[in-house]
């Protein structure tokens, strides 16, 4: 059997590693298709700034859930015992090194190879799938796994804003120039710390609709929660009231609200699945921001550094939105409407940086593969527009409602179906489950092997 994995970031490398553990090198082949030079890093782990920390403890970031010491052992071997603390938060760049080495070891397996190209289309056929590559060649396989990870958000509503990790985001900034960061999530935290590290002395204004800042991790006692205690399918208001009572109960028992949120982690996909489409809409509109700041917490070191910027007065957080912006000379003039205020105020900034998050809507994706699948009807957006429509077995759902048997979507692409499937602890479980499924459903390999040229077609 040949399996083609489209994407060589964290999701693609984890998928390949889990498959390589289960498949037979003598009879099976795994092909990782990635156009970039590095494997394993993607957008999340390509940063070289040591102040950009993981927001999950080392103990929960092993590539393999059944080998929780895997990352700890790697850190001990490469960085010494000091970095191998299971309760520490290492830099995202260092974690990228771990994934890059995992990619190297996976490729050394006789059943795994890499193709340096961009995949432009995947077509399901009677006996397999055909993948069209940017090199003008095609690859045939039995199964294609779409592991393209996160797309960067292309624009910010037409505003003259820089994406956070582009070359132009920080280039040429006057040291005393005021900066506007739109979005107050974890990307903003990294950007603010990068600005401080490069010696930026000017004021930093952070603008988000609700002005909420991510909470921080603490050493909260772990608590487990039995599924029978959870009101699956309850109305959203009743579910929130139940969660507040749970947090209060855990706090009274000497734990913390973090213990309550963390105890839900094994159950969040089922909670999401039990919601009606209308409940999901209401969650996204009214609850998501509050859930995100409690669920996706920053490392304590990041919180301390950010708080120092706030206390010094250099960084200010405003609840509101941009209602207009125009370039004026070398800067940008911005109209800001604060939450609860009738009139907008006008302020001048040296630059706007867009930290509102990653692209979720498939129709806005710049990935030619995803656009080709949508255009041909081989894929469709989910009803809420936050990802692709994906079946419980990760099969891609087409415009006619048919689930593909041979094209799977994993990780962030499957967010609409599972909600909590974008972090490493969740992705590794998906990878393990998919590897087990494909191992048990092994089919005869397609006849064609290698790359077949499509030049001139």
Q: What is the pLDDT of residues 198-236, one digit of tens each?
A: 899 999 999 999 999 999 999 889 899 999 999 999 999
Mean pLDDT, residues 172-178 taken together: 91
Question: pLDDT: is 45 or 444 the higher one?
Answer: 45
Rounded CA-CA distance 263/254 in Å is 15
Backbone φ/ψ region at 357: left (φ over 0), alpha (ψ -120 to 50), beta: left
The SS3 assignment for 419 reads coil
Q: In whole angstroms, how far apart are CA 106 and each of 110, 113, 217, 343, 404?
A: 9, 9, 33, 58, 27
- Tokens 């912006």, residue located: 325
- Split at pLDDT 50, 70, 90, the class of 393 is very high
pLDDT of residue 451: 46
CA distance 343 to 345: 7
Q: Is the pLDDT of residue 455 over 80?
A: no
Mean pLDDT of 92-99: 96
pLDDT digits (tens, 9 = 90+) for 14-37: 999 999 998 887 788 999 999 998
Give yes or no for a contact between 261 and 220, defined as CB atoms under 8 angstroms apart. Answer: no
Note the pLDDT of residue 156: 67
Most distant CA pair in the chain: distance in Å? 71
Distance, C-alpha 305 to centroid of its chain: 24
| Domain regions of the chain by residue span | 2-52+91-152+359-453, 161-215+298-356, 227-295
When the pLDDT of each residue in the chain is averaged and rounded to a whole number, the result is: 90
Give the start-end residues of each E strand in 73-212.
112-115, 119-125, 128-133, 137-141, 143-146, 151-152, 161-162, 179-182, 204-208
Q: Could you count the other beta carbons within 10 Å of the beta carbon of residue 102?
A: 22
Mean pLDDT, residues 399-403 taken together: 96
Mean pLDDT across the stretch 280-290? 93
Span 2-52+91-152+359-453: which CATH code?
3.50.50.60
Q: At 450, is the pLDDT very low, low, confident or very high (cuts 50, 70, 90)?
A: very low
* Least confident range of 36-45, 160-169, 429-438: 160-169
Q: Has residue 1 got a pLDDT over 60?
A: yes
> Of 455 and 132, which is predicted with more confidence?
132
Contacts of 241 (CB under 8 A, 6+ apart): none
What are the tens digits of pLDDT across the range 338-374? 999 999 999 999 999 999 877 667 777 788 999 999 9
Q: What DSSP string runs through 7-23? A: --SHHHHHHHHHHHHHS
Least confident of 160-169, 255-264, 304-313: 160-169
pLDDT of 159 above 90: no
Q: Assess whether pLDDT exceeds 70 at residue 50.
A: yes
- CA R_g for the chain: 23
pLDDT of residue 49 exceeding 70, the answer is: yes
Among 15-19, 99-103, 138-142, 447-451, the minimum mean pLDDT is found in 447-451
- Give the residue from 64, 61, 108, 63 showing the smallest Cα distance to 86: 61
Position 453 pLDDT exceeds 50: no
pLDDT of residue 447: 37
pTM for this prediction: 0.91
DSSP letter for 283, please.
I
Q: How far is CA 341 from CA 135, 183, 323, 337, 338, in A?
A: 55, 19, 13, 7, 5
Contact between 195 and 171 under an 8 Å Cβ cutoff? The reply is no
In this prediction, residue 80 carries a pLDDT of 80
User: Tokens 């903003």 — which residue?
Assistant: 188
- Which residues fall within 8 angstroms of residue 137, CB to CB, at 6 or more apart? 117, 451, 452, 453, 454, 455
Q: Do domains 2-52+91-152+359-453 and 161-215+298-356 have the same CATH topology?
A: yes
- CATH number for 161-215+298-356: choose from 3.40.1190.20, 3.20.20.70, 3.40.50.2300, 3.50.50.60: 3.50.50.60
Beta bridge mates, 322: 336
Q: Enter the DSSP assignment of 232.
A: T
Mean pLDDT along residues 77-105:
91
Between CA 88 and CA 83 the distance in angstroms is 8
DSSP assignment letter at 142: S
Count CA atoms within 13 Å of residue 366 on its CB side. 8
Higher-scoring residue by pLDDT: 451, 291: 291
Q: Which of the four pLDDT bands, split at 50, 70 and 90, describes residue 170?
A: confident
CB atoms within 10 A of CB 316: 12
The predicted model gives 430-450 an average pLDDT of 72
Of 20-29, 276-285, 309-318, which gets the smallest average pLDDT?
A: 20-29
Half-sphere exposure of 140 (CA within 13 A, CB side): 13
- Measure Cα distances from 159 to 71, 325, 378, 413 in Å: 41, 6, 33, 26
The whole-number average pLDDT for the span 306-330 is 94
CB 55 within 8 Å of CB 186: yes
């Amino acid at each position: 059997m040949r399996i083609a994995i489209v994407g060589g970031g964290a999701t693609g490398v984890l998928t390949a590693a889990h498959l390589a553990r289960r498949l037979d090198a003598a009879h099976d082949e795994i092909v990782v298709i990635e156009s970039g030079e590095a494997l394993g890093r993607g957008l999340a782990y390509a940063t070289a700034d040591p102040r950009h920390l993981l927001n999950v403890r080392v103990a929960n970031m092993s590539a393999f859930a059944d080998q929780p010491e895997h990352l700890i052992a790697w850190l001990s071997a490469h960085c010494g015992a000091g970095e191998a603390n299971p309760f520490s938060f290492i830099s995202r760049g260092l974690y990228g090194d771990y994934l890059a080495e995992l990619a190297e070891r996976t490729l050394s397996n006789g059943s795994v190879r890499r193709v340096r190209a961009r995949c432009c289309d995947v077509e399901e056929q009677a006996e397999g799938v055909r993948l069209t590559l940017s090199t003008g060649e095609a690859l045939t396989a039995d199964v294609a796994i779409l592991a393209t990870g996160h797309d960067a958000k292309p624009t910010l509503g037409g505003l003259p804003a820089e994406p956070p990790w582009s070359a132009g985001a920080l280039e040429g900034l006057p040291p005393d120039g005021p900066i506007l960061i739109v979005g107050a999530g974890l990307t903003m935290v990294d950007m603010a710390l990068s600005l401080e590290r490069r010696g930026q002395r000017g004021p930093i204004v952070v603008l988000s609709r609700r002005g909420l800042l991510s909470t921080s991790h603490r050493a909260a006692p772990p608590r487990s929660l039995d599924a029978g205690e959870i009101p699956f399918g309850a109305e959203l208001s009743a579910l929130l009231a139940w969660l507040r009572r749970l947090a209060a109960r855990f706090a009274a028992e000497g734990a913390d609200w973090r213990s309550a949120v963390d105890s839900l982690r094994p159950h969040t996909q089922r909670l999401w699945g039990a919601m009606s489409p209308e409940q999901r809409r209401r969650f996204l509109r009214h609850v998501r921001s509050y859930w995100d700041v409690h669920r996706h917490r920053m490392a304590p070191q990041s919180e301390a550094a950010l708080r120092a910027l706030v206390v010094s007065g250099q960084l200010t957080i405003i609840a509101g939105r941009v209602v207009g912006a125009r370039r004026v000379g070398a800067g940008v003039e911005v109209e800001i409407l604060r939450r609860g205020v009738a009139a907008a105020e006008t302020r001048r900034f040296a630059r706007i940086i867009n930290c509102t998050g990653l692209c979720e809507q498939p129709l806005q994706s710049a990935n030619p593969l995803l656009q080709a699948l949508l255009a041909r009807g081989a894929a469709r957006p989910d009803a809420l527009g936050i990802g692709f429509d994906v079946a419980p077995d990760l099969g891609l759902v087409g415009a006619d409602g048919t689930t593909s048997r041979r094209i799977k979507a994993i990780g962030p692409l499957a967010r609409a179906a599972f909600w909590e499937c974008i972090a490493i602890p969740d992705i590794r479980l998906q990878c393990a489950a998919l590897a087990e499924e494909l191992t048990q459903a092994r089919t005869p390999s397609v006849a064609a092997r290698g790359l077949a040229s499509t030049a001139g077609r």
